[in-house]
A and B are shown apart, each in its own frame.
Chain A
Amino acid sequence: MAKWILRLVALAYLLFLLILPIGLIGWRTFADGLAPVIESLTSEEALHAMRVTVEVAIWAVVLNTVFGVGAAILLVRREFPGKRLLNALIDLPLAVSPVVVGLALILAYGKYSTVGGWLETAGIQVIFSVPGMVLATVFVSLPLVVRAIVPVLEQMGDDQEQAARTLGAGGWATFRRITVPGIRGALGYGIVLCLARALGEYGAVAVVSGKIVGETQTLTLFVEERYLNYEVLTAFAAASLLALVAVATLLITRVLRPKEGN
């Protein structure tokens, strides 16, 4: 009896909090068939927003992947004073509100800040343009690749790397031929998580982008703007697209997630 009640409570909670809302968006979006959806997603602004989103996300993923692999190797394979501090700092972005991230970047790199002033003189605009959006996205997704790789690197040990060294492989060859294949699954997992987070970032980008339609508008900002302009179907269509990306992420990470005892 208790078993049935618990099952009912858990499933009802999930139904009303998660499944019905998301299902409703899908249903509303595709109620009139595919044609209006395609039409609303192929407008010039929508396509531009997608391009900006993808551009920013790719930059963020590339930067965080390079950093993530390097930092993970440092944390697992090297000894140095201050290692615990570095470890803690890497998780810091998870505790910061996206809006605060945006504000932080404006205060650090906006044109009224010292550094922003120098950059402005050098002809580089960070805030209200793509570099600032990349910084914001990098900030919020920074720990994901590191945290995906660290446990696998730990579990793998450095035996194989040492064996490669004794067989004549240099540092780079060892990294490329032994380390990378060893962490491939975890690296893929981390990259997918980072990509999903980057494609879907809203708050931090909302602050630093200035929400300039047709210029710095990403897909999440596009969803908001269309909804506030009463273009509900377009907003729903773009939201459904983003939700599809999220579901795809879940499916891919389920496959890639490093399994225990493997």
Chain B
Amino acid sequence: MTATLDRTAAPGATKAPGSARVRGPKSPGLGLGLAVLYLSLIVLFPLAAVAWRGVEGGPQAFWSAVTTPDSWAALKLTLGASALVAIINVVMGTVIAWVLVRDRFWGKGVVDALIDLPFALPTIVAGLVLLALYGVTSPLHVNLAYTRAGVVVALLFVTLPFVVRTVQPVLQELDRDMEQAAYSLGAGPGLTFRRIILPNLVPAMVSGAGLAFTRAIAEFGSTVLLSGNLPFQTQVAAVNIFGRIEGDDTASAAAVSTALLVVSFLVLVVLDLLQRWGSRRG
């Protein structure tokens, strides 16, 4: 996602020069108008409606809606759990990527394919699946239903692919000569990993973690069944918003939504800036 918005030039302002016959091969014309209209009707206008509804009562109303005890608790839990999930993903995602790139074992292809499953699986199914193994009837006798640990597990499930899939290609492209050069200069495997491999992986790890974090704070479906939606305990922000919509309190739902949107965008903007900064450093 490109975060710097070029506001001086609205896309709708361009006009196709000339008639259809001489239409230059590079003029966007009617297509651009339709694309912008489509995006506006489906994405921009509705999101603007949320932001508007969220702040129309003034900053005080907005703030008091966001800091209503249950919403505030839900936001805190969401951000905390998402941060924890991002950190676990950095470690486990990198380990999995490493094993998938550097290790060889029977069935590796299948494991590699399975990584994408959380993206393809409907979130409600993900929740149900986890509840079957970690719920009241758990065959492992691990009951995480209606606990914060359950929320974290659900978020770990749906965010699994992010770090793996950002680190994996970098690891694949990594020049093995570099490591061999380090070994030849007397560095051991641990030192080589810390000083040579890790610095090359960090940008991908950060960007994967950032994406996992934004996905986690937005997550709804997988936590619905597993968390039990206990306010102040296991209710995440999206579920809190859902409850307010069901209660016809769209104003405060919009306020909490706006807070959530702002956090997501900030994370994405920071990621974009980091990426640019990184690519400038080469």
Contacts and interface: CB of A to CB of B under 8 A. Distances in A.
Asked if the two chains touch in their complex, CB atoms less than 8 Å apart, one says yes
Interface of A: 2-3, 6-7, 9-11, 13-14, 16-22, 24-25, 28, 63, 67, 70-71, 73-74, 77-109, 113, 135, 138-139, 142, 196, 199-203, 206-207, 220-221, 223-224, 227, 235-236, 239, 242-243, 246-247, 249-251, 253-254
A107 B250 contact: yes
Nearest to B240: A99
Given A18-B118, A80-B32, A85 B5 contact: yes
Nearest to B2: A88
A243 B52 CA distance: 38
Interface in B153-197: 153, 156-157, 160, 189
B79 interface: no
Contacts of B201: none
Contacts of B102: 3
A74 B96 CA distance: 38
Interface string B5-29: 1110111011000000000001110
Contact of A84 (B6, B34, B98, B111): B6
A223 B3 CA distance: 37
Interface residues of B, number: 89
A49 to B, nearest CB: 12
Interface stretch (B58-66, B122-130, B274-282): B122-130
A203 B7 contact: no
A11 B111 contact: yes
A232 to B, nearest CB: 9
Chain B contact residues: helix, strand, loop or mixed: helix
A68 to B, nearest CB: 10
A81 B11 contact: yes
A92 B254 CA distance: 18
Contact of A21 (B13, B45, B133): B133
A6 B103 contact: yes
A22 B11 contact: no
B129 A21 contact: yes
Given A113-B49, A202-B123, A207-B245, A95 B95 contact: no
B133 A24 contact: yes
A180 to B, nearest CB: 16
A24 B238 contact: no
Given A100-B257, A108-B46, 18 more contacts: A10-B100, A24-B129, A80-B32, A81-B14, A84-B2, A85-B6, A88-B3, A93-B43, A95-B261, A95-B265, A99-B241, A106-B245, A139-B43, A202-B124, A206-B242, A223-B122, A249-B120, A253-B116
A193 B105 CA distance: 29
Q: 3 nearest interchain CB pairs?
A: A200-B122, A81-B9, A104-B46
B35 to A, nearest CB: 5
Contact of A246 (B95, B99, B120, B139): B120
Nearest to A199: B122
A95 B268 contact: yes
A178 to B, nearest CB: 14
B218 A98 contact: yes
B105 A97 contact: no
A78 B130 CA distance: 47
Given A224-B224, A242-B125, A80 B95 contact: no
B218 A20 contact: no
A235 B128 contact: yes
A239 to B, nearest CB: 5
B50 A107 contact: yes
B271 to A, nearest CB: 11
Given A100-B50, A108-B49, A207-B245, A19 B1 contact: no
Contacts of B146: none
B32 A224 contact: no
Contacts of A10: 92, 95-96, 98-100
B157 A88 contact: no
Contacts of A89: 39, 43-44
Contact of B113 (A92, A101, A254): A254
Contact of B105 (A7, A71, A82, A106): A7
A239 B113 CA distance: 20
Given A22-B129, A94-B1, A243-B121, A67 B38 contact: yes
Contacts of B242: 99, 203, 206-207
Nearest to B44: A89
Given A93-B43, A95-B264, A104-B49, A203 B221 contact: yes
B129 to A, nearest CB: 4
B230 interface: no
Contact of B132 (A21, A87, A139, A247): A21
Contacts of A109: 46
Q: In the complex, which of the residues A77, A97, A101 has the most CB atoms of chain B within 10 Å of its own CB atom? A: A97
A243 B125 contact: yes
Contact of B160 (A18, A67, A82, A84): A18
